[in-house]
Structure 1
């Protein structure tokens, strides 16, 4: 009987998903802060084009050597979001996937990352230009309760730092396989990027916070996930340990898997459910 119910549920979800009219589009605009054009990919849920409703928003960050299309092309975001929404596991939401790619054929050169580096103030761009532009263009319920941030690897580190520095803006933060401290071992990335990672370590940032700052961090719903075979496992455990020592509630998951898209595809449905449970609370 349990097997029959599971099969029926999967069939119903597939049928509902097949009729979903969600879509993704690319939005490009000029940045005065960066002196360049930047693009993002935006997921719009079924019903967006037929209503005037405002939707909660998830800012979903890619990893190093990636770009704004990674979550749709490699992470299968549209299918996973459609299925989660159709099954009632996630609320209809707008998912905004920004671009923090670097220059060069592997996107790991100059200007990679979510932090400010000399001559490229990406973090200032994100908060002063990018978020306001996106939330003006789309029908987004632009308050803390309806705004979340999540990301993988480099984007997991960006997620943690953005929510630690701006807890007044995000209701939930989800780091997946996050780069939550300095690189373990040598890396061949651009030196400015590597320095920015060291200068913006979530572990170091959390360790140096005042009691008042920690109160703000407690207003964010935190969820951290990392595979047991991931090369970033230790910094994730360190971050979890420090959060517990600072009396900051968080959900922590360590699952079977490594630093792969296959792993992140299995994590994404839970992340969508987690942020959905926080929207409006």
Structure 2
């Protein structure tokens, strides 16, 4: 074979190379462009207002108690008016923190409501004295003002709160407190645990006798909170709804709201913003 010819081996090698080239995968094309949505950033939660929990000794109640102070976020507590908050039966002063009051107070102030401080303290027995060793009213009237002024609160009023709010048993106590403090700017009663008769009241095993109940029952003294502006909120499925209606008819409060709901935390959380606005519009 001449030098110009192609050997059989070369042909085989060349054919194999062509076959390999034909079978080799082609270079992958650029992937199609896809649009990637930016990550969803959740809105930051409304910060809870500063909450202080102090232990105080009450001689009137003969016990150490929690004093819970709640102020709106970013607002100095000094010079703010104070709203007293009374909890329900079987609860404590910390109940108002559990109900989300700190964040709700901050939200309301950011929406334009005048700011105020909320002060809650441990109580019991419908906020009345069952005996000389445990007198919540004496604590509220005599000891609370000193606790507040010692912390630089309520200085313009000598430590006396400018408003009061209460839930359930605390609403009973708030209306009772308003009878003794006619200079209050507002009194809010949420799901008020009121009694239309001695039989209902006696079943609570709190009141010493009928005379004691009658001396404190807000339904029997509905006209004795004037001129304090009173607001009442109650769920229509609440077992105390009938008593609340009677109180509204007798007292003719500045605000009354009867809406679907029971004697539950869910209902209390739902009306709390409205309650805070009612107080904020009047307390300043």
Q: TM-score range by the shorter chain?
A: 0.7 to 0.9
Q: 1:117 to 1:146 in 2, by over 3 A?
A: closer
Asked whether 1:232 is paired with 2:246, we answer: no
Q: Following TM superposition, by how much is the alpha carbon of 1:175 offset from its aligned partner in structure 2, in angstroms?
A: 0.3
Corresponding position of 2:141: 127
Query: Quick one: distance in 2 between partners of 1:122 and 1:186?
Result: 18
Deviation of residue 121 (structure 1)?
Answer: 1.6
Tell me the distance in 2 between the aligned counterparts of 1:69 and 1:253: 25
After TM superposition, the structure 1 = structure 2 runs for residues 20-35 of structure 1, keeping only pairs within 5 Å, are 20=47, 22-35=49-62
**Equivalent position to 1:265, from 263, 266, 269:** 269
TM-score if structure 1 supplies the norm length? 0.75
Contact 2:191/2:238, CA 8 A, preserved across alignment: yes
Alignment of 1:66-81 (within 5 A): 66-73=91-98, 75-81=99-105
1:65 aligns with 2:129: no
Mapping for residues 239-254 of structure 1, pairs under 5 Å: 239-244=247-252, 249-254=253-258
Q: How far did 1:161 drift?
A: 1.0
Residue 150 of structure 1 corresponds to 165
Whether the 8 Å CA contact 1:80–1:269 is kept in 2: the answer is: yes
What SS class does the counterpart of residue 102 from structure 2 fall into?
helix
1:241 aligned counterpart, secondary structure: helix
Q: Find out whether 1:118 has 2:143 as its counterpart.
A: no
> Which of 200, 217, 220 is 1:204 aligned to?
220
Q: Contact 1:182/1:198 (CA < 8 Å) preserved in 2? A: no
Among 229, 234, 256, which residue is 1:221 paired with? Answer: 229
Q: Which moved more, 1:252-261 or 1:33-42?
A: 33-42
Give the C-alpha shift of residue 190 in structure 1: 4.2
Alpha-carbon distance, 1:125 to partner: 1.4
Show CA shifts across 1:189-210 (max 9, x none). Answer: 5444786655411011236xxx
SS across alignment from 2:222: helix
Shift of 1:182: 5.0
d(CA) in 2 for partners of 1:191 and 1:218? 27
2:171 and 2:209 map into 1 onto residues whose CA distance is 15
Q: Quick one: distance in 2 between partners of 1:46 and 1:140?
A: 18
Give the deviation of 1:41 after TM superposition: 1.2
For the 8 Å contact 1:178–1:232, the answer to whether it is kept is yes
Is 1:274 matched up with 2:266?
no
Q: Which residue of 2 aligns with 1:41?
A: 68
How many angstroms does 1:234 deviate by? 1.1
Does 2:191 match 1:177? Answer: yes
Indicate conservation of the 8 Å contact 1:181/1:197, yes or no: no
Aligned counterpart, 1:92: 115
Structure 1's unaligned 5+ residue stretches are 1-10, 102-111, 208-213
| Number of residue equivalences | 240
Contact 2:78 2:152 in 1 (8 A): no
> Quick one: structure 1 residues 271 and 199, their matched pair in 2 at CA, closer, same or farther if it must change by over 3 Å?
same
State the Cα distance separating 1:265 from its structure 2 match. Answer: 0.5
User: For the aligned residues, what is the CA RMSD?
Assistant: 2.9
Q: 1:210: which partner in 2?
A: none
